[in-house]
Chains A and B, each alone.
Chain A
Amino acid sequence: MHIPDGFLSADVAAATGVVAVAAVGYGLHRANRTLDERQVPLLGVTAAFVFAAQMLNFPVAGGTSGHFLGAALATILLGPWLACLVLAVVLVVQAFMFADGGVTALGANIFCMGVVGALGSGLMLRAGRTVLPPRRTPFIGLCGVTAWLAVVVSAAVASVLLAISGTVPLATVLPAMVGVHVFIGIGEAAITVAAVAAVLAVRPDLVAAAEHLEDEPASAPAAGEALS
């Protein structure tokens, strides 16, 4: 879903650029105060995994492919603001090293895939936490739904940006974008669930969004705060 240069008007590129810079700036500010030791390698490896998984285009209907976006996974592991940083790093490298996604559109791409995906995932996870029992299985289900929704919402927001830019009417682009990303989101959910389940199995304390989960009977007690 990388928007190339030429698809967006200067106004839309500038406005999304401002929002992206503000979100990344706030993410850096937050990181400066709250980043704990364990999150340093975790942030690096989450970015690396998101980049790698974004290269794995999988076929969806009718000669179209989709790929992982990663905002939901990064949010589940690190929280929404660090997730914005992760997606920004990935998108900057993709634009400048691989010419994937525009340069003037970089802010819009960070906005759609990073800020909207991450903050939307953060809200969804918070809402889910209040209604679901604090157990691992419903949490993993919530992660899947969040990932699917993040992709669909990011696609809808990208459609709105294209329409505001005068590139294509909203009534044309929105159903088309949402229609295909409904399927791409299933792949996103599958990869997110697999990755979250893997990390929960080895180090549940590294999953920021799983702080509230009760220890599973099968796993060793891991939470530091429960012991103190």
Chain B
Amino acid sequence: MSTSVKLVTVLALAVAVGLATAVSPFASSSPDGLERVAHDKAFLDRSELHAVQEDAPAPGYAFPGIRDARVATGVAGFAGTLVVFALGFGMAALLRRREGPAAAR
């Protein structure tokens, strides 16, 4: 008997939520590859924030209103992972459903 898709999904989602919530606060805060190159090659100061992003709910992966930086990152990771899951699942479910009547393959 193989593991059901539902169980695989729940387990994998738990791993993702766990990583984003509990591990991401301890991730490296050094600049990533592109940021490092932009700094070293002197074009980092061209970077700008789009007007839309000034109202972003959690800029820089810091959930607002939480003073502890690690907790703010963990909560942002928790919320972001669930939002991404919901969008991905919802999009796939909509695409799947539309095919409904012709699904006799």
Contacts and interface: CB of A to CB of B under 8 A. Distances in A.
Interface of A: 1-7, 28, 31-33, 35-53, 55-60, 62-67, 85-86, 89-90, 92-100, 102-104, 155, 158, 162, 167-168, 172-173, 176-177, 180-181, 184, 199, 202-203, 205-206, 220, 222
Contacts, number: 225
Contacts of A85: 88, 91
A58 B15 CA distance: 18
6 contacts: A45-B8, A48-B13, A49-B13, A98-B58, A172-B41, A199-B12
Interface in B45-88: 46-50, 52-53, 56-61, 73, 76-77, 80-88
A37 B60 CA distance: 35
Nearest to A48: B85
Contacts of A38: 5
B28 to A, nearest CB: 4
B33 interface: yes
A100 B2 contact: no
A98 B76 contact: yes
Given A2-B34, A59-B30, A104 B84 contact: no
Nearest to A159: B37
Nearest to A176: B37
A47 B46 contact: no
Nearest to B54: A99
Taking each of B30, B33, B46, B81, which has the highest tally of chain A beta carbons within 10 Å of its own beta carbon?
B33
Contact residues of A: prevailing secondary structure: helix
A181 B50 contact: no
Contacts of A172: 41
A207 to B, nearest CB: 11
B32 A66 contact: yes
B95 interface: yes
Q: Of A48, A92, A155, which is in contact with the most chain B CB atoms at under 10 Å from its CB?
A: A48
Instruction: Give the 8 A-B CB pairs with smallest separation, nearest first.
Output: A44-B89, A47-B88, A103-B50, A52-B20, A48-B85, A65-B28, A44-B88, A55-B24
B17 A52 contact: yes
B28 A202 contact: no
A37 B29 CA distance: 39
Given A1-B34, A41-B92, A57-B27, 17 more contacts: A2-B34, A6-B46, A7-B47, A41-B5, A45-B13, A51-B80, A52-B16, A52-B24, A56-B27, A57-B30, A65-B30, A66-B33, A97-B57, A99-B59, A103-B50, A184-B33, A206-B5
A71 B47 CA distance: 25
Contacts of A181: 33
A99 B56 contact: yes
